[in-house]
């Protein structure tokens, strides 16, 4: 085993800093193997110590490169392998793990190096429980890393075109419908929860969001229960992960399934009328109060109109 190296498997994710940081916990040198666009390879080059670009899949799904990725990573005999939790990244990690005869742990929150492998904290049962698991040998980890783009100096991208599995082609690509701007890269996110009493009252939250120049988000019940906010806007274990500088949780109780989606946030501010709401144990600043009073007051203080 090359205990100096962790490998990061990148399947077109533009934001790899969190993955590289996790990989660096387990070995000092981090090598990224990228299947995806040149932009993805260039982004990896601003975070990792070495980047191997296997090529752009084009009309072939990323998953068709699974064997090629497994070959490259297994040949390097790394100390650990890390990737994102996206479906394509998980397929690549699965192939790597099979080739290495190693287990895969998913929804990983934290890692620590151990004498013979790693100790991994990962969410199970839909985020209801966090396990700490000791992994002997090579850990292969699908990590909830948040979407922080890399901005360091770039290393050279090594081009090593690989041959994908033949016989599988992409016949159609339909971009998922999105509302508003990009949540993943937003620096300010204002999220509303079941503390909101009526859909029409969303106006007071959007006014604050606009005054802050942020993006609107929500807890799952507002997107999947009452459909007041579109489904691509809910935050949490089964929704979006965000890593803004500022996250406002308004009328949100702070259940684990929601809060794992904001682990990468810089400052978390909660507004809740219940002083015992669990969110207050997980925020940097808390305002105990009725959102119908607090939100318009904040908007007015920022010079916006409710
Ligand atoms: C497998 C699984 C996966 C899940 N995945 C997700 C996920 O990805 N994302 C997610 O969000 N949830 C998820 N959930 C649901 C999660 O467990 C919670 O039920 C949900 O997050 C609660 O949403 P909430 O905080 O908006 O509502 P509630 O828990 O009902 O909290 C509402 C809060 O609003 C406060 N409030 C009420 N009135 C006011 C007022 N006037 N002013 C201020 N505060 C007020 C209340 O005190 C309360 O704290 C999942 C659940 C399961 C089982």
Q: Do domains 2-159 and 188-301 have the same CATH topology?
A: yes
Tell me which CATH homologous superfamily contains domain 2-159.
HUPs (3.40.50.620)
| Ligand 1 pocket, residue 252 CB under 6 Å | yes
Q: Which two tokens stand for residue 284?
A: 């940097």
Distance 145 CA to ligand 1 centre (A): 22
Q: Give the C-alpha separation, 22 to 153, whole Å.
A: 19
Distance 34 CA to ligand 1 centre (A): 37
Residue 246, CA atoms < 13 Å, CB-side half-sphere: 12
Decide if 106 contacts 90 (C-beta within 8 A).
yes
Q: What is the mean pLDDT of residues 90-94?
A: 95
Nearest CA to ligand 1 atom 23: 219
| Ligand 1 pocket, residue 107 CB under 6 Å | no
**More confident position, 154 or 98:** 98
Nearest CA to ligand 1 atom 11: 219
Question: Binning pLDDT at 50, 70 and 90, where does residue 149 land?
Answer: low
Tell me which CATH homologous superfamily contains domain 188-301.
TPP-binding domain (3.40.50.1220)
| Ligand 1 pocket, residue 228 CB under 6 Å | no
Q: What percent of the chain has pLDDT over 70?
A: 95
Q: Where are the domains of the chain?
A: 2-159, 188-301
Decide if 271 contacts 287 (C-beta within 8 A).
yes
Q: What is the mean pLDDT of residues 257-267?
A: 90
Question: Which of 114-123, 208-217, 235-244, 255-264 ranks highest by mean pLDDT?
Answer: 208-217
| pLDDT 10s digits, 6-39 | 999 999 777 788 899 999 999 999 999 999 999 9
Return all residues near 153 (Cβ < 8 A) that are at least 6 apart. Answer: 46
| pLDDT 10s digits, 266-275 | 999 999 999 9
| pLDDT 10s digits, 132-146 | 999 888 999 999 776
Burial 240-267 (b: 16+ CB within 10 A, else e): bbbbbebbbbbbbbbbbbbbbbbbbbee
Which atom of ligand 1 is nearest the CA belonging to 194? Answer: 26
| Ligand 1 pocket, residue 218 CB under 6 Å | no
Pocket test for ligand 1, best of 126, 236, 296 (most atoms within 8 A of CB): 236
| Ligand 1 pocket, residue 214 CB under 6 Å | no
Nearest CA to ligand 1 atom 14: 257
Q: Is the pLDDT of residue 302 over 90?
A: yes
The pLDDT, as a whole number, for residue 146 is 63
In order of 67, 189, 277, the CA distances from 202 in angstroms are: 48, 15, 21
């Amino acid at each position: 085993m090359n205990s100096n190296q962790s490998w990061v498997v990148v399947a077109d994710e533009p934001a790899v800093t969190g993955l590289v940081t996790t990989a660096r916990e387990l070995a000092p040198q981090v090598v990224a193997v990228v299947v995806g666009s040149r932009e993805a390879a260039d982004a990896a080059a601003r975070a990792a110590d070495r980047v191997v670009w296997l090529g752009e899949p084009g009309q072939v799904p990323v998953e068709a490169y699974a064997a090629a990725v497994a070959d490259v990573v297994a040949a390097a005999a790394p100390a650990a392998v890390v990737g994102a939790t996206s479906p394509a990244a998980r397929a690549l990690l699965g192939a790597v793990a099979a080739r290495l005869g190693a287990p895969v742990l998913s929804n990983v929150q934290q890692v620590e190096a151990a004498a013979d492998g790693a100790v991994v904290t990962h969410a199970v049962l839909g985020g209801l429980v966090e396990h700490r698991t000791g992994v002997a040998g090579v850990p292969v980890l699908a990590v909830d890393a948040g979407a922080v783009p890399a901005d360091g100096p770039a290393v050279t991208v090594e081009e090593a075109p690989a041959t994908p599995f033949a016989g599988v082609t992409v016949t159609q690509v339909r971009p998922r419908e999105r509302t508003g701007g990009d949540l993943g890269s937003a620096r300010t996110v204002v999220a509303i929860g079941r503390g909101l009493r009526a859909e029409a009252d969303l106006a007071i939250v959007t006014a604050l969001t606009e005054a802050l120049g942020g993006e609107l988000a929500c807890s799952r019940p507002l997107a999947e229960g009452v459909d007041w906010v579109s489904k691509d806007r809910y935050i949490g274990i089964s929704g979006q992960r965000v890593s803004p500088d500022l996250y406002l949780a308004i009328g949100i109780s702070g259940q684990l399934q929601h809060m794992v989606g904001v682990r990468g946030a810089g400052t978390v501010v909660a507004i809740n009328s219940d002083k015992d709401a669990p969110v207050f144990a997980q925020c940097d600043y808390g305002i105990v109060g009725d959102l119908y009073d607090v939100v318009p007051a904040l908007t007015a203080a920022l010079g916006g109109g409710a």
